[in-house]
Amino acid sequence: MKITMAHGSGGRATSQLITGIFEKNFNNEILSRMEDSAVVAGNGRLAVTTDSFVVNPLFFPGGDIGKLSVCGTVNDLLMSGACPKYLTCGFILEEGADSEELEKIAASMAQTAREAGVTIVAGDTKVIEGSGGIYINTAGVGFVPEGVQISASLCEEGDAVLVSGNLGDHHAAILSARMEITNSIVSDCAPLGEMVRSMQEAGVRIKAMRDVTRGGLATVLHEFAAASDCCVELTQSCLPVSDQVKGFCGLLGLDPLYMGNEGKMTAVVAGEDAELALSCMQKSKYGEAAAIIGHISGKERGKVLLTTPLGGIRVITELIGEGLPRIC
């Protein structure tokens, strides 16, 4: 079945679309009430986020736009130290979209939400003229435990900087699929809840966390440096990048420091807790290639510096990535 303008009319076709795909895949006690808003349990400090997903192609090695939308939203909540609980999802469907593809996307979202421990409690569907595109907007709500305070402004000299795994996998997978380049690169798209909880439960003193998405690691670390008025010093030889992605970058002239990821995070922790944090990451489901990549110093405040294998110092700028091919 192809999506038509009738599916956005609010009538029988809309109802059939909602019950046949969305309610079937996202079914739960809250959503099934079909009220105008979802009333959910909770108290304390809230973390709230929203994001929109327009990735091309819709399906790629290691994931799809549905999985991506859940992981992206859940990971944003986790980076504030919150426990993600609820998601909403809005679908913008272009006329001509394939309902079988939509079914696969909804099923993927449902599976990823279960893995992440979140419930999809509300949604919306709109149909517009077009050529079969599918776009998703999500909002997420989580609860921040008492006493948890995580902010880039808390970074200080002596803190350690870690990354949870190989850089550039998602970006390279998307570009490979789009450019029809054959390789074995798979997107790292994944929810990072287990990893964050592991560090919190182990007592790691986490100063700042950020998922390394659009703009890449360099952009995130510049935000840390600016917010804390400190210097982030990296060691190039410690940056984890797979051989496949290195080869891909060499082919296209890309830099993994500026490439997007969807299942990687960087964390700044108290220097004394660096090895404990690394152990927690590496023992988690998606952290096998985690590494300590640098530290916070007062050397050149507001800057990110990279020590090369030959001992040289390279200033990492925020501007190099401006011409990078967009992946979403």
Q: Is 252 helix (H, G, I), strand (E, B) or coil?
A: helix
CA distance 294 to 271: 10
| Domains, the chain, with CATH or none | 2-143 (3.30.1330.10), 159-316 (3.90.650.10)
* 182 C-beta neighbours (distance < 10 Å), count: 6
> Which of the four pLDDT bands, split at 50, 70 and 90, describes residue 35?
low
CA distance 291 to 142: 28
Give the number of C-alpha atoms closer than 13 A to the C-alpha of residue 24, restricted to the C-beta side.
14
- Tell me what the mean pLDDT of segment 24-37 comes to: 75
pLDDT of residue 18: 83
Give the number of C-alpha atoms closer than 13 A to the C-alpha of residue 114, restricted to the C-beta side.
9
Given a cut of 90, is residue 15 above it in pLDDT? no
pLDDT of residue 319: 47
CA distance 102 to 113: 16
Given a cut of 60, is residue 326 above it in pLDDT? no
Percent residues over pLDDT 90 in the chain: 76
* 140 C-beta neighbours (distance < 10 Å), count: 27
- Tell me what the mean pLDDT of segment 25-36 comes to: 76
Mean of the per-residue pLDDT values for the chain? 91
Given a cut of 60, is residue 36 above it in pLDDT? no
Alpha helices in the chain (DSSP H): 12-17, 24-26, 65-78, 99-116, 169-179, 193-201, 216-228, 243-252, 274-283
- Tell me what the mean pLDDT of segment 199-213 comes to: 96
More confident of the two residues 201 and 39 = 201
What tens digit of pLDDT does each residue of 231-269 get?
A: 999 999 999 999 999 999 999 999 999 999 999 999 999
> Which of the four pLDDT bands, split at 50, 70 and 90, describes residue 321?
very low
Which residues are bridge partners to 98 per DSSP?
2
Q: Is 109 helix (H, G, I), strand (E, B) or coil?
A: helix
> Which of the four pLDDT bands, split at 50, 70 and 90, describes residue 179?
very high
| Cα separation values, 5 from 12, 19, 127, 132, 135, Å | 12, 17, 6, 11, 16
> Which of the four pLDDT bands, split at 50, 70 and 90, describes residue 45?
confident
Q: Dihedral of the CA atoms 209, 214, 218, 223 (nearest 10)?
A: -50
Give the pair of three-digit tokens for residue 305: 């510096």
Residue 326 DSSP class = P
- Tell me what the mean pLDDT of segment 163-180 comes to: 96
CA 168 to chain centre: 13
> Which of the four pLDDT bands, split at 50, 70 and 90, describes residue 53?
very high
Per residue, the 3-state secondary structure of 129-146, as one string, reads CCCCCEEEEEEEEEEECC
Given a cut of 70, is residue 322 above it in pLDDT? no
CA distance 211 to 222: 14
Which amino acid does the sequence have at 119? Answer: T
pLDDT of residue 215: 84
Given a cut of 70, is residue 132 above it in pLDDT? yes
Given a cut of 50, is residue 111 above it in pLDDT? yes
- Tell me what the mean pLDDT of segment 132-140 comes to: 97
Given a cut of 70, is residue 327 above it in pLDDT? no
